[in-house]
Amino acid sequence: MNNRFYQKMAADNIRKNGKVYLPFLISCICSVMVSYIMLALSMNRGLGQIPGGNNMQLILTMGNVVISMFFAIFLFYTNSFLMKRRKKEFGVYNILGMDKRHIQKVIMYETMYITAISIVVGLLTGIVLNKVCVLIIRRMMDATVSLGFELSPTSMIGSSLLFATFFLLLLGYNTYQIRLANPIELLRGGNVGEKEPKTKWVMAVLGGGFLGAGYYLALTIQSPITGMPLVFLAVLLVIAGTYLLFTAGSIAALKLLRKNSRYYYQIQHFIPVSGMLYRMKKNAVGLANICVMSVAVILLLSIAVSLYVTSDESIHAQYPSNVLAEIKLSGDIPEAEKQVKAELQQAAERTAAETLVEVDSISSYTSLSFPAVLVEGGFDVPEDIYSNQTTKISSLYFIDQNNYNSLFGENVSLNANEIYIHGIGKEYEGTSLSLMGEQYQATVMKDMKGFVVGESTVSTIVDVYFIIVNDVETLQKIEQQQKAIIGKLAGAIHVSARIDLDKETGKEQERKFGNILSDKLEAAGVDVSVVDTRVSAGEKFRALRSGVLFVAMNLGILLLMATVLIIYYKQISEAYDDKDRYTIMRKVGLSLKEIKGAIRSQILTVFFLPLIATGVHAAVTFPLMKKLVVVVMLDNTQWFLYCMAASYAVFAIVYVLIYRVTARAYYKVVS
């Protein structure tokens, strides 16, 4: 027998087993597609350029690892169904005189075809879908997205290699299975009764532990940026915990149900409970898959939705004036402050004259900010504050009373070592405050006017305290003290300027004003940190939003598709398994109507377990996700909760629809 024979046979086999191969093929194609898109996005240059894009790409890269693991589990899971169904066929070949070596050759060619089809079609659809998504988002957001239709050869090679490896592993597993079995076993293949699974307490406890640890991390991680490895660990722990708990927990739960004879011996529970228990091992992996996918879908959809509903207006919260400038002070602070403020005033006026823009107001003030840890009776500034990921960090913003008074026309009067403090979220408790060895007398001042700016974003991740001290000298002393501890990364005293332009100023003019002001300040020899305009910030913000929206929508829809597919495939393949059982039940005297009821009950249980678990996961990971969202959205997050609830609701509806369709398909197969 030559190779062409095997090739033809392999092709025929796939065609003839189309009913079971098609869903498998579609799943493979979708997996390749998702993998390509994620890889392409994580390497996309356009995405890297938008603000926050780097963080998003980091998330994507990590997501890629998670998703790849998921794909591996998913492929092995579906493959096991496939092999079970086909063992009989191989048994017949074996008996008809084909060597196991020959059968393995056929399988090899089959796998080659499947691999080729999956990778080629998956990459093609991935490229096209990528483009479609970009177009939709451009429409929706009216944005100038620069990412999207770029062929990414690296990603193409990357996902091809990844899946080639997966299929190679599958091939190895399948040939190994064939080699182990004798023809009679192969012939029986699909019908060998699985042993009833034992309750695995170790696994259940381990799963509970993983899940608990994951949840704990999710709830306690303070800054998702510095704690990125921890976030990743939390995600992995939750996933591992889900798989273990579903596997061990579901068996324990079903056994408990079976023990309750009043519940168990009812026709609508009798058949489903025993049926599920019978093949719970596989069932559990399927359910855990569905659960993990669902959480991902909900998170992605809620990010997409909250991005869509957040309006541009929120940019005003961060940019109270048209133009913001920050200049770093050094040397003798009181002297430098005066000089820089004068430079600023001058530069702004000249810029205004040059660009024909009318300036409404210019105000500038001196401030200092650095991180600290809230402790009993004050704040502590440890040396490792930037690398420490477990302690809750607070951001401290300092201003002196002269600056504060002149900025807001107030009349604050503080003595030396006396401060006013205002905390976002939680006020400072106590009347004395120690900071780096100094004692201050603290009074809470609830209304600090415009000094409190853009707080909602930062305060999601850290606690923020605004503090007024009595003079610039105190400010300088504090700056020196924390510089001595933290070193290079220490906060520096800045002069911040807020320049309001006339309402009639156009966008182009505003941007030009910002650019020229920046040039002038540079030319004046001051240490400029930032010069930014509301217009350009708004643009960046919009680019970021559309970028994130693109990614979230893209992945959300893809994962939803994959989820639907898994559910459908799982139900169909189980229906084939159950067909004989229902035939017997019909012979013993079960009517079609009762069969329908039993099926409904079984599918309901199978379906709503992951939905509930998904809800719990989503609820617990909500705080962490909120913080992550801040990283990419720079926006206040009040909407996120509603969006998440809405996404969950929408997802539940889709889920119920899938349930209906699958129940019908399942019923069609068994009756």
Partner 1 sequence: MTILEVHNLKKIYTTRFGGNQVQALSNVSFSVESGEYVAIMGESGSGKSTLLNILAALDKPTGGEVLLNGKNIVSIPESEISAFRRKNLGFVFQDFNLLDTFSLKDNILLPLVMSGGKPGEMKNQLLPIARKLGIQNLLSKYPYEVSGGQKQRAAVARALINNPQLIMADEPTGALDSKAADSLLELFGAINAEGQTILMVTHSIKAASHANRVLFIKDGCVFHELHRGNLTSEAMFQKISDTLSVIAAGGGFNE
Interface with partner 1 (CB under 8 A): 192-193, 196, 261-262, 264-267, 270, 274-275, 277-278, 581, 584-594
**The token pair that represents 662 in the structure block:** 């699958």
Tell me how far, at minimum, the Cβ of 254 lies from partner 1, in Å. 11
CB under 8 Å, gap of 24 or more: what pairs does 579-585 form?
A: 579/669, 579/670, 580/191, 581/275, 582/670, 582/671, 585/271
Tell me how far, at minimum, the Cβ of 621 lies from partner 1, in Å. 36
Tell me how far, at minimum, the Cβ of 185 lies from partner 1, in Å. 14
**Which CB atom, from 196 or from 312, has the smaller least distance to partner 1?**
196
Tell me how far, at minimum, the Cβ of 122 lies from partner 1, in Å. 37
Tell me how far, at minimum, the Cβ of 286 lies from partner 1, in Å. 17
- By the 8 A CB rule, do 550 and 643 touch? no
**Which CB atom, from 511 or from 581, has the smaller least distance to partner 1?**
581
The dihedral over CA atoms of 629, 631, 636, 640, expressed in degrees to the nearest 10, equals 0
Tell me how far, at minimum, the Cβ of 263 lies from partner 1, in Å. 9
**Which CB atom, from 445 or from 590, has the smaller least distance to partner 1?**
590
Q: From 124, 270, 268, 253, select the one nearest 200 (Cα to Cα).
A: 253
Q: Quote the DSSP letter at residue 398.
A: E
Tell me how far, at minimum, the Cβ of 175 lies from partner 1, in Å. 27
- By the 8 A CB rule, do 35 and 68 touch? yes
Tell me how far, at minimum, the Cβ of 586 lies from partner 1, in Å. 8
Tell me how far, at minimum, the Cβ of 259 lies from partner 1, in Å. 11
**Which positions ≥6 away from 96 have C-beta within 8 Å?**
none
**The token pair that represents 439 in the structure block:** 């004692």
Tell me how far, at minimum, the Cβ of 668 lies from partner 1, in Å. 18
Tell me how far, at minimum, the Cβ of 583 lies from partner 1, in Å. 9
**Which CB atom, from 5 or from 265, has the smaller least distance to partner 1?**
265
Q: From 420, 425, 418, 397, select the one nearest 410 (Cα to Cα).
A: 420
Residue 250 CB neighbours (<10 A) = 23
**Which CB atom, from 278 or from 465, has the smaller least distance to partner 1?**
278
Q: Quote the DSSP letter at residue 193.
A: P
Residue 604: how many CA atoms within 13 Å on its side-chain side? 10
Rounded CA separation 486/373 (Å):
13
**Which CB atom, from 15 or from 195, has the smaller least distance to partner 1?**
195
303 residue type, one letter? I
**Which CB atom, from 259 or from 488, has the smaller least distance to partner 1?**
259
- By the 8 A CB rule, do 548 and 140 touch? no
Question: Can you say whether residue 495 is alpha, beta or left, with left for phi > 0 and alpha for psi between -120 and 50 degrees?
Answer: beta
**Which CB atom, from 238 or from 603, has the smaller least distance to partner 1?**
603
- By the 8 A CB rule, do 368 and 479 touch? yes
**Which CB atom, from 241 or from 286, has the smaller least distance to partner 1?**
286
Tell me how far, at minimum, the Cβ of 39 lies from partner 1, in Å. 43
3-state secondary structure 463-514: EEEEEEECCHHHHHHHHHHHHHHHHHHCCCCEEEEEEEECCCCCHHHHHHHH
**Which CB atom, from 196 or from 438, has the smaller least distance to partner 1?**
196
Per-residue burial over 462-500, b = 16 or more CB atoms within 10 Å of its CB, e = otherwise: bbbbbbbbbebebbbebbebbeeebeeebbbbbbbbbbb
Q: From 591, 599, 580, select the one nearest 659 (Cα to Cα).
A: 599
**Which CB atom, from 273 or from 624, has the smaller least distance to partner 1?**
273
Q: Is the dihedral of CA 92, 97, 99, 102 positive or negative?
A: negative
Tell me how far, at minimum, the Cβ of 33 lies from partner 1, in Å. 37
- By the 8 A CB rule, do 395 and 462 touch? yes
Helix 638-670 and helix 534-588, axial crossing angle in degrees, nearest 10: 30
Tell me how far, at minimum, the Cβ of 97 lies from partner 1, in Å. 28
Tell me how far, at minimum, the Cβ of 598 lies from partner 1, in Å. 10
**Which CB atom, from 196 or from 349, has the smaller least distance to partner 1?**
196
- By the 8 A CB rule, do 595 and 617 touch? no
**DSSP per residue over 110-122, as a string?**
HHHHHHHHHHHHH
**Which CB atom, from 334 or from 597, has the smaller least distance to partner 1?**
597
**Which CB atom, from 96 or from 588, has the smaller least distance to partner 1?**
588
Q: From 420, 426, 377, 368, select the one nearest 399 (Cα to Cα).
A: 368
Rounded CA separation 159/463 (Å):
42
How far are the Cα atoms of 21, 162, 277, 526 from residue 27, in angstroms, in the given order? 10, 15, 26, 59
Tell me how far, at minimum, the Cβ of 592 lies from partner 1, in Å. 8
**Which CB atom, from 503 or from 587, has the smaller least distance to partner 1?**
587
**The token pair that represents 326 in the structure block:** 């920050």
Rounded CA separation 220/391 (Å):
9
Helix-then-strand count for the chain, H and E: 22, 10
**Which CB atom, from 222 or from 602, has the smaller least distance to partner 1?**
602
